[in-house]
Structure 1
Amino acid sequence: MTIFLILAPFGSFALLMLVTSAEISLFAAAAICLAVIGIDVYRGRSIKMLGAGCVVLFTGLGAYVALVDPNLSHSAVKLTVDIGVLAISLASLVIRKPFVLQYALEEVDAETAKLPGFRKAIYIITWAWTGAFVLMIAGNVLMIYVPGLPFWSGLAIALAARNSAAYFTTWYPQYRRAKHGAPPANALPGTN
């Protein structure tokens, strides 16, 4: 369920970009991000860097499209969103608080969070997501600079990158558990 909530704003944004304006898509995605933050707060969880950053990203870009450049292409809007999400991911790594860590700490006990392999797994999963964001950017750049490509190719790249990262987030903790022995229950994100 956690991955669904994390990806809901992005999936909604991508779907809405197919059927409506960039402005509506961006503000709807920002509203969904706020709803996810509200769910976290209601459950007594922390406000996540990724969620808060995406509220700012979607709202800021939506305001830009609404007030400054309403003719900004859909490809440019998607590219800007992907660059923004990549920036959030890279910033979390630079400040040594990978964005995946906030989600993981809410799923594990304090003992597990102190294990040396825990931090390593968090960094590896965060880098997998960062790689997915880079691939999504590459797909958008191809759509902008190679106009002869079929429309679905950009979507296919984005879906493949996002789904691969989501699968890796679930698979990697299981792999580490099999390789290094079973840590306590729910030791790594994606194991429950």
Structure 2
Amino acid sequence: MTIFLILAPFAAFSFLMLTTSAIVSLFAAAAICLMVISYDIARGRSIKILGAGSMILFATLGAYLTLIDSGMSNSAIKLAVDAGVFAISLTSIALRFPFTLQYARETVDTETANLPGFLRANYIITSAWTGAFLLMMIANVLLTYVPGLPLWSGLVIAFAARNSAAYFTKWYPAYRRAKYGAPTASASAA
């Protein structure tokens, strides 16, 4: 469910970009980000770096298109979104607070969150997502500057990158538990 909530604004943005205007797509994605943030707050969870940053990104791009440059191409808009999300992810690593850490801490007990490898695992998972965001940016650059490429090639790259990162996010913690051993019984009871 968490991965669905994280990706919902981006899925809505991508779908709406195919069916409606960029302005509607951006503001709809910002609204979905706001709903996810509200859902987290209602459940007593923290406001996530990725969610808040994405909401600001979508709303700012929507305002820019509405007020300043309504002629921006769809490829440039998608590239701006991918670059913005890449920047959010990279900044979270640079600030020594990988964005996945907030999600991970809410799914494990305190003892597990304090294990030495927990922070390192989150750096690795956030790096995988950062790589996926970079691949999505590259796909948009290719679609923009190599006009002969079919639209589906960019969609395939984005889909593969996003799904690979999502798979890795689920696989890597299980791999670490198998390799380094499960936490104590009290930690795994949560």
TM-score normalised per structure 1: 0.95
Question: What SS is found at the alignment partner of 1:123?
Answer: helix
Separation in 2, partners of 1:25, 1:41? 24
> Which residue does 2:34 correspond to in 1?
34
Q: Identify unmatched segments of 5+ residues in structure 2.
A: none
Q: How does 1:27-176 map to 2 (within 5 A)?
A: 27-176=27-176
Deviation sequence 1:123-171 (CA, Å, 0-9, x none): 0000000000000000000000000000111111111100000000000
Moved more, 64-73 or 18-27: 64-73
Structure 1 vs Structure 2: percent identity of aligned residues?
Answer: 69
CA deviations over 1:56-93 (Å, ceiling 9, x no partner): 10000000111111111110000000000011011111
- Distance across 1 between alignment mates of 2:151 and 2:12: 18
Give, in whole Å, the separation in 2 of the partners of 1:4 and 1:29. Answer: 14
Report what 1:9 is aligned to.
9
Q: CA RMSD in A?
A: 1.4
Q: Deviations over 1:85-107 (max 9, x none)?
A: 01101111111000000111111
Distance across 2 between alignment mates of 1:18 and 1:45: 33
> What amino acid maps onto 1:124 in structure 2?
I
SS of equivalent residue, structure 1 residue 72: coil
d(CA) in 2 for partners of 1:173, 1:53:
25
Q: Which letter maps to 2:100?
A: V
Runs of 4+ residues over 6 Å off in structure 1: none
CA distance in structure 2 between the aligned counterparts of 1:184 and 1:139, rounded to whole angstroms: 44
Match of 1:183 in 2: 183
Q: Which moved more, 1:126-135 or 1:111-120?
A: 111-120
Query: TM-score, normalised on structure 2?
Result: 0.96
Segments of 5+ residues of structure 1 without an aligned counterpart are none
Q: Give the residue type in structure 2 aligned to 1:80.
A: A
Query: What CA deviation, in whole Å up to 9, does each residue of 1:15-67 have, x standing for no partner?
Result: 00001110000000000000000100010000001111011100000001111
The 1-side partners of 2:41 and 2:179 are apart by: 36
CA distance in 2, matches of 1:158, 1:112: 33
Give distance in 2, aligned partners of 1:36 and 1:67: 26
- Whole-Å Cα distance in 1 between the matches of residues 113 and 184 of structure 2? 10
Structure 2 Cα separation of the partners of residues 174 and 109 of structure 1: 16
